[in-house]
Amino acid sequence: MIALTLPEIAAVVGGEVVDDPDGVVVRGAASVDSREIEPDGLFAAFVGERSDGHDFAGAAVAAGAAAVLGSRATGHPTVLVEDPQAALGALAHHVLGRLPDVTVLAVTGSQGKTSTKDLLAGVLAAHAETVATRGSFNNELGLPLTVLRAGTGTRFLLLEMGARGIGHLRELCAIARPDVSLVLNVGKAHLGEFGTQDDIATAKGELVEALTPDGVAVLNADDPRVAAMAARTAGRVVTFGTLGSTLPTDEVPTDVVAAAFARDAPTVGYADVRLDAEGRPTFALVVEWRRVPVTLQLVGAHHVPNAAAAVAAAAAVGIGLEEAAASLAGVSTVSRWRMEVARRADGVVVVNDAYNANPDSMRAALEALVSIGAGGSARRRVAVLGEMKELGASADAEHAEVGRLARSLGVDVLLAVGEAARPALTGFDATHGDDGEDGMAGQSDQVRAVAAADNEAAVRWLGEHLRADDVVLVKASRGARLDEVAAALLADDRGVGA
Residues 71 and 154 in one domain: no
Same domain, 78 and 103: no
CATH code where residue 126 lies: 3.40.1190.10
244 is a domain residue: yes
pLDDT value for 74 = 94
List, for residues 206-224, the tens digit of each pLDDT value.
999 999 889 999 999 999 9
Count of domains observed in the chain? 3
Closest of 73, 42, 29 to residue 55, by C-alpha = 73
Domain's final residue, options 32, 56, 82: 82
> What was the pLDDT predicted at 496?
45
Q: Which of 21, 53, 82 is the last residue of a domain?
A: 82
Question: Do 355 and 311 fall within a single domain?
Answer: no
Q: Are residues 280 and 168 in the same domain?
A: yes
Do 113 and 233 have their domain in common? yes
Print the SS3 string covering 281-315.
EEEEEEECCEEEEEECCCCCCCHHHHHHHHHHHHH
Q: Which of 471, 498, 473, 497 is nearest to 485 (CA)?
A: 473
**Do both 142 and 186 map to the same domain?**
yes
154, part of any domain: yes
- What are the beta bridge partners of residue 182? 107, 218
**Final residue of a structural domain among 307, 329, 351:** 329
Q: Are residues 176 and 314 in the same domain?
A: yes
- Tell me the pTM: 0.81
Tell me which residue range forms the domain holding 135. 99-329
Looking at residue 417, its amino acid is: V
Q: What values do phi and psi take at 159, rounded to 5?
A: -120, 120
**Same domain flag for 406 and 317:** no
**Judgement on whether residues 220 and 325 belong to the same structural domain of the protein:** yes
Number of neighbouring beta carbons within 10 Å of residue 32: 20
Distance, CA of 56 to CA of 454 (rounded, Å): 34
Does 293 map to a domain?
yes
pLDDT at 297: 87
Same structural domain for residues 347 and 424?
yes
What is the residue-wise DSSP string for 338-391?
SSEEEE-TTS-EEEE--S---HHHHHHHHHHHHHTTTTTTSS-EEEEE----S-
Output the domain CATH number for residue 42.
Answer: 3.40.1390.10
Domain co-membership, 315 together with 372: no
pLDDT score recorded for residue 173: 97
Same domain, 359 and 283: no
Residues in the chain: 498
Note whether residue 496 is domain-resident.
no
Q: Which residues of the chain have pLDDT under 70?
A: 189-192, 244-265, 333-335, 373-378, 430-447, 493-498
